[in-house]
Amino acid sequence: MTTTPTSTPIELVVFDMAGTTVADEGLVVASFLAADEHAGLSASDADRTAMLDYVQETMGQSKITVFRHLSKGNEEQAQSANKEFERTYSSLVAEGRCSAMPGAEDLFRSCRDRGVKIALTTGFAKPTQDAILETLGWQDVADVVLCPTDELRGRPHPDMPLEALIRTRTTSVDAMMVVGDTASDITSGVRAGAGVLVGVLSGAHDRDQLTAAGAHHVVDGVVDLAALLP
């Protein structure tokens, strides 16, 4: 077992994907722009700028939830935009435009060596998540792979970390570490009662945003997490 600074044995690490363990070269923004063009979410350059600001602010959250906000409650428009987003993102991923973050695969192996379970979570729909896992060859990396569904709310809700904890039979929330690059990742971990919350600076949000959300540690990237898993 691994020990946290509070001497609590860590049994489970819940990792975000894009921006944390996966480098995607700006594909999220590119896919939002494609969704906007397809569904007509913005009517002007100013609208588009405001949309992208909101997208940046809500990075890590369920994409359909973001589109429902951007469409001002127009469910048909939100669903159309979300489908185009997922289609575009999956297509770009299939072209090989994503890769493992430096140190991510070594960290997964390190967790395995220590008997620590791994969960991979995302705000993307399952087909997009599956496309990323297939491109990276990560189908067997994690003990649990989760994304938002009708029954499982996305971030910043606590559902995915808690579901991971239940499925892996982790003994307590104190034995769970949540790792992500957005305030939503950290908030989700806070609400789930995770014993350790780690923000990484390889993605959407900066140190101040991650700390304000409740991160106990902020590191440059997952490659630096080994120091927290002695």
- Angstrom distance (rounded) from CA 203 to CA 72: 27
Does residue 3 surpass a pLDDT of 60?
no
Architecture of domain 2-24+98-228: 3-Layer(aba) Sandwich (3.40)
Q: Are strands 176-180 and 196-200 parallel, antiparallel or unpaired?
A: parallel
38-64 mean pLDDT: 85
- Give 90-103 pLDDT, tens digit per residue: 888 888 788 899 99
Q: What percent of the chain has pLDDT over 90?
A: 53
Does residue 6 surpass a pLDDT of 80?
no
Whole-angstrom CA distances from 7 to 18, 109, 168 are 30, 22, 21
Q: What is the pLDDT of residue 7?
A: 62
61-71 mean pLDDT: 87
Q: Residue 119: name the closest of 25, 129, 52, 84 by CA.
A: 129
Does residue 128 surpass a pLDDT of 90?
no
- Angstrom distance (rounded) from CA 219 to CA 202: 9
CA torsion, ordered 23, 101, 220, 4, to nearest 10 deg: 130
Q: List the structure tokens of 157.
A: 């809700």
- Give 175-192 pLDDT, tens digit per residue: 999 999 999 999 999 999
Beta bridge partners of 121: 16, 146
* pTM for the whole structure: 0.84
CA torsion, ordered 79, 81, 82, 85, to nearest 10 deg: 160
Task: Give domain limits for the chain.
Answer: 2-24+98-228, 27-94
Does residue 200 contact residue 220 with C-beta atoms inside 8 Å?
yes
189-199 mean pLDDT: 96
Q: What is the pLDDT of residue 217?
A: 94
Average pLDDT, the chain: 89
Q: What is the pLDDT of residue 230?
A: 60
- Give 158-180 pLDDT, tens digit per residue: 999 999 999 999 999 999 999 99
Q: What is the pLDDT of residue 100?
A: 93
Residue showing tokens 């939100």: 78
36-57 mean pLDDT: 87
